[in-house]
Amino acid sequence: MNVLFKDVSKHFGSIKALENLNFEVKTGDFVFIVGSSGAGKSTLLKMILSQYRPSTGEIYIDGHLLNFKNKHLIDKLRQNIGVIFQDYQLIADKTVEENIALALDINGFPSREIPQRVDKAIDQVFLQSRRHLFPAQLSGGELQRAALARALAIDPKLILADEPTGNLDPENSWNLIKLLKEINESRGTTIIMTTHNFDIVESLNKRKITMKNGTIVNDTIKKVVKKLKKKKIKK
Amino acid sequence: MNIYRNTWHHIRRSPFQSITAIVTMTLSFFALSTFAIVSNGMNSLLNYFETKPEITIFLKDGLDKSTIENLQTEISNYTSIKEIKFISKEKALTIYKEQNKNSPLLTEMVTASILPASFEVSVSDVKVLEQISQNFSAKKDQVDEIIYQKDIITSILSWTNIIRQIGIVTVTIFSGLTFLVVLVIIGMKITNRKEEINISRLLGASKDYVKAPFLIEGTIYGLVGGFLGPLVSLTLISIYKSQINQFFDPVLFISTDLQFILVIWLICEAAGVTIGYLSSWIGSNRYIKF
């Protein structure tokens, strides 16, 4: 799934959350968005998810201009996006497996297929023993994994992960990253992930967009392109 | 399938709100079916009197055949006339003797000459009786006396009208109240589940998808209320049915006609579904705006 931001700004009254963003994430890319708290990382993800509409500029998802009047288009786009929210956004009175099943039902998967997909997603995040528990009965790490399972179950074209390792211990953090990397490589799923964990960012050697005060201060794709151009010239 | 599971989940998670909605629905349809049954009984009562010879015009002695024929023609010109029966003096004597065959003393001295000839007129619209009574009372040289069960008919008519009016007002008030109760309950449920709706929307659920369980919930309240209301009403009425029917004998005031009962049930179910669906539809449109 391709994401394109053209001169996008987002203002909340006098607060400028995002200012004149221009970037493109191509299908199959794995992109980290880093920056300090309040840099605008979560706002950016929320704009891709059409939770916020831009004050100015245009956002294209898979070539479709996000038109907030076209609710049907937005619903369809959201169905192709797996989201791991910073605050998990799991439904409190549904068990882990019910939360996952709901996402599958919303996506229109046939009823007979849902239990198998739920099982698979739960196995992927090693939550078998917690599948019948409610969110309030889970630890922070387990909640994060439940949210990941819900995102993975629908076979999304794009995964938006907002600080997914924030509540995980180092071992689980690496397991999650390995899983996301594997999905990105095997399925070609586009992944946009915000994080503070620089160890992970550096070790994966993927594209990194650095944000500060709502603007992009560094995008490693430009360096990669420059390196490629230099290689071509030398040849 | 998940929509039905979600609906059941909503009902189960707030049982007291669900019970309140169902009880209010049941009360409304209890009132509706009770008034329908009573109204039907009043109709049977009216029908009984309407099918009887409602007015009897006793004629003066000595009228010739052509005058009697003219009077009969005049009666037949009224609308809603079902039957005109001419009872001659001789026929009147036969009837009198038949009625008093167990009392020879009463029949011995009576001859046809002392009994008046008469017309027995039955109508399908009781209001015509008033006109016949007024017009023929003026024919003093031909008409001796008019017997007209005006008081009974007027009384039944006015009672029927009062019962119908009370029924309409009560059912309207209850329906309005039910509508509001379901609307408020669905509104409360939506507010309670705002987070769930919000999450579902972010996962790509359409507005119709998140509204559907609430619409089904309202419809279920209507279906259950529409079933229970007439059930309670019919159960209570069946307990006192024999006493009520005995009181109105020979009129069958409480109908046991299965078709009539089914029609009441179907009307209650249809009204329940309409009220339940409409109120939850308005409620969900009002509260689900995100």
pTM: 0.70
- Minimum Cα–Cα distance from B205: chain A residue: A106
Domain boundary among B118, B148, B178: B148
Yes or no: say if B195 and A91 are a contact pair by the CB < 8 Å rule: yes
CB contact (8 A) between residue A51 and residue B202: yes
* Per-residue confidence band for B272, with pLDDT thresholds at 50, 70 and 90: very high
Of A82-86, B21-25, B253-257, B276-280, the least confident: B253-257
Average pLDDT over residues A66-91: 87
Decide if B202 touches A, using CB distance below 8 A: yes
- The pLDDT of residue B235 is 92
Q: What percent of chain B has pLDDT over 90?
A: 34
Decide if A102 touches B, using CB distance below 8 A: yes
Query: Higher pLDDT residue, B220 or A199?
Result: B220
Decide if A143 touches B, using CB distance below 8 A: no
* Domain co-membership, B36 together with B134: no
* Per-residue confidence band for B51, with pLDDT thresholds at 50, 70 and 90: low
Of A67-81, A158-172, B96-110, B157-171, the least confident: B96-110
- The pLDDT of residue B247 is 86
The first and second tokens of residue B51, run together, are 């099918």
Answer yes or no: is pLDDT of B251 > 90: no
CATH number for the domain spanning B130: value is 3.30.70.3040
Of A80, A89, A105, the CB nearest to B2: A105
Domain at A3-234: CATH architecture: 3-Layer(aba) Sandwich (3.40)
- The pLDDT of residue B281 is 93
Question: Average per-residue pLDDT in chain B?
Answer: 87
Q: What is the pLDDT of residues B107-144, one digit of tens each?
A: 787 888 888 999 988 887 777 888 888 888 888 889 99
CA nearest neighbour of A47 among A35, A55, A38, A39: A55
Of B46-50, B182-186, B194-198, B247-251, the least confident: B46-50
Query: Higher pLDDT residue, A96 or B79?
Result: A96
The first and second tokens of residue B87, run together, are 């009872």
Answer yes or no: is pLDDT of A230 > 70: no
Of A80-94, B38-52, B131-145, the least confident: B38-52
Domain boundary among B101, B132, B148: B148
- The pLDDT of residue A226 is 59
Decide if A79 touches B, using CB distance below 8 A: yes
* Domain co-membership, B20 together with B133: no
* Terminal Cα-to-Cα distance of chain A (whole angstroms): 33
Q: What ipTM is given for this predicted complex? A: 0.85
Q: Tell me the H-state helices in B193-206.
A: 194-202
Answer yes or no: is pLDDT of A153 > 60: yes
User: At a CB cut-off of 8 Å and minimum separation 6, what does B34 contact?
Assistant: B233, B236, B237
Highest mean pLDDT among A174-178, B95-99, B114-118: B114-118
* Domain co-membership, B240 together with B112: no
Domain boundary among B148, B168, B201: B148
Q: A107: which chain B residues are within 8 Å (Cβ-Cβ)?
A: 203-204
The alpha carbon dihedral of B257, B260, B261, B262 has a sign of: positive
* Domain co-membership, B106 together with B163: no
- The pLDDT of residue B288 is 81
Q: B9: which chain A residues are within 8 Å (Cβ-Cβ)?
A: 93-94
Domain that holds residue B170: 2-48+154-287
C-alpha gyration radius of chain B: 30
Answer yes or no: is pLDDT of A227 > 70: no
* Residue B124 DSSP code: S
Answer yes or no: is pLDDT of B1 > 60: no
Q: What is the pLDDT of residues B134-176, one digit of tens each?
A: 888 888 889 998 887 666 777 778 888 888 888 889 888 988 8
- Minimum Cα–Cα distance from B14: chain A residue: A93
Q: What is the pLDDT of residues A108-130, one digit of tens each?
A: 999 899 999 999 999 988 889 99
- Minimum Cα–Cα distance from B13: chain A residue: A93
Pick among A105, A117, A118 to test the B interface (most B CBs inside 10 A):
A105
Query: Higher pLDDT residue, A167 or A226?
Result: A167
Answer yes or no: is pLDDT of A234 > 70: no
- The pLDDT of residue A168 is 79
* Domain co-membership, B36 together with B63: no
- The pLDDT of residue A105 is 92
Decide if A178 touches B, using CB distance below 8 A: no
* Domain co-membership, B15 together with B63: no
Beta strand pairing call for A64-65 and A56-61? antiparallel
For residue B72, count CB atoms less than 10 angstroms from its CB and return exposed for 0-12, middle for 13-18, buried for 19 or more: middle
Average pLDDT over residues A150-154: 93
Of B195, B199, B204, the CB nearest to A107: B204
- The pLDDT of residue A47 is 92
* Per-residue confidence band for A210, with pLDDT thresholds at 50, 70 and 90: very high
Residue in the structure block whose two tokens are 């689900």:
B288
Decide if B13 touches A, using CB distance below 8 A: yes
Answer yes or no: is pLDDT of A222 > 60: no
* Domain co-membership, B43 together with B161: yes
Q: What percent of chain B has pLDDT over 70?
A: 97
Residue in the structure block whose two tokens are 């029908």:
B47
Of A90, A94, A106, the CB nearest to B204: A106
Report how many domains make up chain B. Answer: 2
Pick among B9, B14, B203 to test the A interface (most A CBs inside 10 A):
B203
CB contact (8 A) between residue A75 and residue B199: no
Answer yes or no: is pLDDT of B53 > 60: no
* Domain co-membership, B168 together with B184: yes
* Domain co-membership, B68 together with B107: yes
Q: How far is A42 from chain B (nearest CA, A)?
A: 14
Identity of residue A95: T
- The pLDDT of residue A104 is 94
Average pLDDT over residues B74-98: 89
Average pLDDT over residues A119-146: 91
- Minimum Cα–Cα distance from A76: chain B residue: B204
Q: What percent of chain A has pLDDT over 90?
A: 50
Query: Please, which residues 48-77 of chain A have a Cβ atom closer than 8 Å to chain B?
Result: 49, 51, 71-72, 75-77
CB contact (8 A) between residue A78 and residue B203: yes
Yes or no: say if A24 and A5 are a contact pair by the CB < 8 Å rule: yes
CB contact (8 A) between residue A93 and residue B206: no
CA nearest neighbour of A200 among A177, A179, A184, A220: A177
Average pLDDT over residues B48-58: 75
